[in-house]
Structure 1
Amino acid sequence: MHVKKGDKVVVIAGSDKGKTGKILTSFPKDNRVVVENVNMLTKHQKQTNQMQQAGIVHREGPVNISNVMLYCDKCKSGVRTEKKIENGKKVRACKKCGHVFE
């Protein structure tokens, strides 16, 4: 996967195109990620012992990994990445400006 948990990404396709957010969870086997405030789903929650209040709950749904790009704060846009070796460690860097993400 070209992105991981905690990365800031921008959505490049779908109904939420252009939105940015942080990756909350990732599912590598399904090629999907959950991004905050993107692909909001509405769930009608029933009252349970753990959750005393019933009602409508809004939460994020998974988005395909191909629909997100890593967001570079320096370029102010979604960018492709390259792998570089710095100080003996492999790191991700912006293809446009060379900004290191790690």
Structure 2
Amino acid sequence: MAKNNSTETRYRMHVKKGDTVQVIAGSDKGKVGEVLQAIPKTSRVVVKGVNLRTRHIKPRQEGESGQIVTSEASIHSSNVMLYSDKQKVASRVCYTFSEDGRKVRMLKKTGEILD
């Protein structure tokens, strides 16, 4: 089997779509938002209101005006931490088992169960 020369890929991340996260690194450090999309193959996430990119779109038809569209670009999952809305604190995640035997994610600082 040939080796892949691209960056290392991960297939399991600590965040999922719909989680509330806080950005801990980069130009948007400190911002809190919801994960809109998780991309496990490249270990990246798209967070609402974070890492905004602006695109200028040319008019397609005669008489139509151009547009400026802003959209969220992905950031690496290691640059976000799960965020507790109740206690307003970011925390690492650990995995534990619930009473009915399911494996669930839990915030280390608050003990809040996510799943």
What is the TM-score when the length of structure 1 is the normalising length?
A: 0.90
Alignment partner of 1:78 is 2:90? yes
Task: State the aligned residue count.
Answer: 100
Structure 1 residue ranges without an equivalent (≥5) = none
Query: How many angstroms does 1:5 deviate by?
Result: 0.4
What is the TM-score when the length of structure 2 is the normalising length?
A: 0.80
Alignment partner of 1:33 is 2:45? yes
Structure 2 residue ranges without an equivalent (≥5) = 1-12
Partners of 2:53 and 2:15 in 1: CA distance: 23
Alignment partner of 1:18 is 2:30? yes
Q: Which amino acid aligns with 2:113?
A: V
Moved over 4 A (4+): none
Matched residue of 2:106: which SS? strand
CA contact (8 A) 1:74 1:99 kept: no
Structure 1 residues 12 and 44: CA distance shift in structure 2, 3 A: same
Of 89, 96, 99, 2:102 maps to: 89
Q: Which amino acid aligns with 2:91?
A: V
Question: Greater Rg, structure 1 or structure 2?
Answer: 2
Partners of 2:110 and 2:90 in 1: CA distance: 12
Partners of 2:65 and 2:43 in 1: CA distance: 34
Identity of aligned residues (%): 50
More strand by share: 1
CA contact (8 A) 1:83 1:91 kept: yes
Query: How many angstroms does 1:48 deviate by?
Result: 4.4
Query: How many angstroms does 1:63 deviate by?
Result: 0.6
| 1:100 alignment partner in structure 2 | 113
Partners of 1:40 and 1:85 in 2: CA distance: 37
Alignment root-mean-square deviation, CA: 1.5
Q: Write out per-residue CA displacement over residues 66-86 of structure 1, whole angstroms, 9 at most, x where no aligned residue.
A: 100000123311101111111
Q: Write out per-residue CA displacement over residues 17-42 of structure 1, whole angstroms, 9 at most, x where no aligned residue.
A: 00000000111111110000000000
Partners of 2:45 and 2:58 in 1: CA distance: 26
